[in-house]
Chains A and B, each alone.
Chain A
Amino acid sequence: MKLKVGVFKFTSCSGCQVELIRMNEQLPELLNLVEFKYWAMASSKLEDGPYDLALVEGAISTPECIEEVKAIREKSRVLVALGDCAVTGGVPSIRNWMSQREAETIVYPKPGYIRSTRVYGIDEYVKVDYYLKGCPPRLENILQVFKAVILGVKPRLRQHSVCVECKLYENECLLTTYKQPCMGPVTAAGCGAICPNVGRVCEGCYGPMSDPNVASMVERLREIGLSDDEIVRKFRKYAGMSKPYREVAKL
């Protein structure tokens, strides 16, 4: 019996789904194991649930999204938040720090049609079984969730800091050695430290790690000369609505 999978999208750039499509040569193998019942980006054949696994991309930003995500939850055995937008609201959530009207007029020429809510990740409204952090999550991690759900085991998605991966690759530390504002010490790993690997600071795109020490990180960024305003933007960028970052992001 193949795993019945649905892929759904709310407010997002679709980058996470692109990551899934990017699998190319692994796709035939995956199709031996799963059947995509609903994946609007890949097929026009859209079947209703129930689904064994629902991958939900995108943030919730309208009253309609709220109803839809609840309906998907009801039809799905395992529900996965695919990517930062679904996990915490992601990049779209930066809109939460300006007025609704201001945001809408920037984006739409005729904002009269728009009815938006505050932007949240999906677990504000439904129970999420696994979180695939990242903007976008790495394909390897997405596939791991497929395998784990088929086998009925917990996927290994460790949430320790990016610094751990940085050290596995023995990068020079940008924060301690170069005093650059690297968000690695509070950011969840999973990307393989790809930014520090090429000498660029971690911007925090995987969102908060497990138990991040946000207050201390704020101090560290102050120490290397960031203004409060810059610090707030660092925390808002990808996961300002996440529980650990909310307080600083509003600072």
Chain B
Amino acid sequence: MGKASQLFKTDLKGLDRLIKKLRSDGYVVYGPVKRGRSWFFLEIDSVKQVDLNYVRTVLPPKKLLHPPREKLFEFKLGDGFEVSEKPMPPTVALFGVHPCDLKAIERQDEFFSQTPEDPYYLARRRNALIIGLTCTRVDENCFCLSRGTGPEVSTGFDILITDVGNGYLLEPGSAKGLELLKSLGFQEVGDEYLEAKQKLIEELKKSFTKQMPPEGLAELAKSMLEHEVWKETAERCLSCGNCSLVCPTCYCFDVYDVLELNLRSGVRVRELDSCQLLEYAEVALGGNFRRNRFQRLRHWMLCKFGVAGGGLYSSCVGCGRCIVYCPANIDLTEVASRLRGGG
């Protein structure tokens, strides 16, 4: 916040114009669409398809930047070894990304920009346009507030949309975003709209019931590797992997080749993996660093608490997905509070 920047305002029709403009600029636009009882980031061509009042999608928008399964390249053994990279992916615009997911994308950006850089992720990311959407409601499994990852955000978007009641406030977050807003001729408004937004956010903050503050959690968890909570929770854990496959901050993947029957050509694939799965830590000759379920569950939580894996790059942003999709009702905020000596 703070820095006064240009602000704009529009209505639903204006948002629709924004989507159409992005499409005519060559973006494939994805937004939160309701199907059955859940929401999904799906390709959209009009604001009518979007539920601007959604809570969370099954898979985070990460799926469009770091796809759950993708072909990296094709290879062929001819005279030499030929590799054909697939053409550049379509440029995506993500419409309606909530603050927690914006923060998660920032973490993935940092992770995949480390040496060695990940060219596949970065190619998609560089061209992507991200339009954030301030939440209008939270449910019993949201806890971004305690993680410092929402419901306020000031970075990670090209444009941020907030429903301020009598229209949608549009804040540019990048030069690209500002240019877009100007080109659409949206009405410029003053700072009083920021105040209105802030009031809504303050109101929203009162609806949070769950929390998992990050302060000291990593150090605490690291010092309590033998705490009984790990084994007790692991008794319920199914090692199904749902929690990490839906997590917007998990980045682990597996790479494998699929050979054609000619045994001379094939494709290299990468696919989301999860440290909750037995095979994840398996090495040659069947050795396994985390054969016991409690070790795997503990590792996944330590990573989300900011200890294991990439430390802060993969730590939790409080979206609640892992809790919603855990068939065993395992809740990492409860584990954290037990480590802190509560409950």
Contact A164–B277 (Cβ < 8 Å): yes
Residue of A with least CB distance to B277: A160
Number of residues of chain B lying within 8 A (CB) of chain A = 37
Contact A167–B35 (Cβ < 8 Å): no
Decide if A212 is an interface residue (CB 8 Å cutoff). yes
Residues of B within 8 A of A168 (CB): 68-69, 245, 271-272
Tell me the smallest distance from the CB of B248 to a CB of chain A, in Å: 13
Decide if B263 is an interface residue (CB 8 Å cutoff). yes
Residue of A with least CB distance to B261: A29
Pick the contact of B279 from A160, A172, A212, A220 — CB < 8 Å? A160
A156-B256, A178-B37, A185-B327 in contact; A151/B263 too (CB < 8 A)? yes
Task: With A146-B261, A167-B272 given, name 5 new contacts (CB 8 A).
Answer: A160-B274, A167-B241, A172-B38, A175-B327, A209-B239
Contact B279–A158 (Cβ < 8 Å): yes
List which A218-232 residues lie within 8 A (CB) of chain B. 219-220
Decide if B82 is an interface residue (CB 8 Å cutoff). no
Q: Which of B35, B242, B274 has the most CB of A within 10 A?
A: B242
Residues of B within 8 A of A147 (CB): 259, 261, 263
Residues of B within 8 A of A150 (CB): 263
Pick the contact of B328 from A33, A143, A160, A216 — CB < 8 Å? A216
Q: Which of B59, B271, B278 has the most CB of A within 10 A?
A: B278
| Distance of A175 Cα from B272 Cα, bound (Å) | 21
| Distance of A162 Cα from B63 Cα, bound (Å) | 19
Q: Which of B239, B240, B271 has the most CB of A within 10 A?
A: B240
Contact A213–B40 (Cβ < 8 Å): no
Decide if A46 is an interface residue (CB 8 Å cutoff). no
Residues of B within 8 A of A178 (CB): 37
Residues of B within 8 A of A216 (CB): 235-238, 328
Mask: chain B, 71-100; 1 = CB below 8 Å from A; 0 = not: 000000000000000000000000000000
Residue of B with least CB distance to A160: B277
Residues of B within 8 A of A215 (CB): 235
Residue of B with least CB distance to A29: B261
Tell me the smallest distance from the CB of B330 to a CB of chain A, in Å: 10
Contact B58–A172 (Cβ < 8 Å): yes
| Distance of A168 Cα from B261 Cα, bound (Å) | 25
Decide if B223 is an interface residue (CB 8 Å cutoff). no
Main DSSP-derived SS at the A contact region? helix
Residue of A with least CB distance to B36: A172
Contact B242–A210 (Cβ < 8 Å): no
Contact B237–A170 (Cβ < 8 Å): no
List which A2-32 residues lie within 8 A (CB) of chain B. 26, 29-30, 32
Mask: chain B, 313-342; 1 = CB below 8 Å from A; 0 = not: 000000000001111100000000000000
> Can you list 5 A-B pairs with a CB-CB distance of less than 8 A?
A146-B261, A147-B259, A159-B278, A167-B59, A219-B236
Residues of A within 8 A of B144 (CB): none
Decide if A59 is an interface residue (CB 8 Å cutoff). no
Decide if A161 is an interface residue (CB 8 Å cutoff). yes
Decide if B262 is an interface residue (CB 8 Å cutoff). yes
Contact B278–A160 (Cβ < 8 Å): yes
Pick the contact of A163 from B38, B240, B261, B271 — CB < 8 Å? B240
Contact A164–B245 (Cβ < 8 Å): yes
A160-B277, A170-B63, A177-B38 in contact; A30/B261 too (CB < 8 A)? yes
A33-B261, A159-B279 in contact; A164/B256 too (CB < 8 A)? no
A168-B69, A186-B238 in contact; A220/B256 too (CB < 8 A)? no
Mask: chain B, 278-310; 1 = CB below 8 Å from A; 0 = not: 110000000000000100000000000000000
Mask: chain A, 162-182; 1 = CB below 8 Å from B; 0 = not: 011001101111011110000
| Distance of A205 Cα from B2 Cα, bound (Å) | 58
A160-B241, A212-B238 in contact; A220/B327 too (CB < 8 A)? yes
Tell me the smallest distance from the CB of A11 to a CB of chain B, in Å: 30
List which B132-183 residues lie within 8 A (CB) of chain A. none
Decide if A184 is an interface residue (CB 8 Å cutoff). yes
Contact A185–B240 (Cβ < 8 Å): yes
Contact B263–A213 (Cβ < 8 Å): no
Decide if A129 is an interface residue (CB 8 Å cutoff). no
| Distance of A224 Cα from B176 Cα, bound (Å) | 49
A160-B277, A167-B59, A172-B37 in contact; A213/B237 too (CB < 8 A)? yes
Decide if A94 is an interface residue (CB 8 Å cutoff). no
Residues of A within 8 A of B259 (CB): 147, 151
Contact B325–A176 (Cβ < 8 Å): yes
Residue of A with least CB distance to B40: A170
List which B213-250 residues lie within 8 A (CB) of chain A. 235-242, 245-246
Contact B325–A173 (Cβ < 8 Å): yes
What are the 10 A-B residue pairs with the smallest beta carbon separation, nearest first? A167-B245, A185-B240, A29-B261, A163-B240, A185-B238, A160-B277, A161-B240, A210-B278, A168-B68, A213-B238
Residues of B within 8 A of A26 (CB): 261
| Distance of A158 Cα from B328 Cα, bound (Å) | 22
| Distance of A219 Cα from B238 Cα, bound (Å) | 11
Contact A29–B262 (Cβ < 8 Å): yes
Residues of A within 8 A of B328 (CB): 216, 220
Residue of A with least CB distance to B38: A172
Tell me the smallest distance from the CB of A73 to a CB of chain B, in Å: 21
Decide if A211 is an interface residue (CB 8 Å cutoff). yes
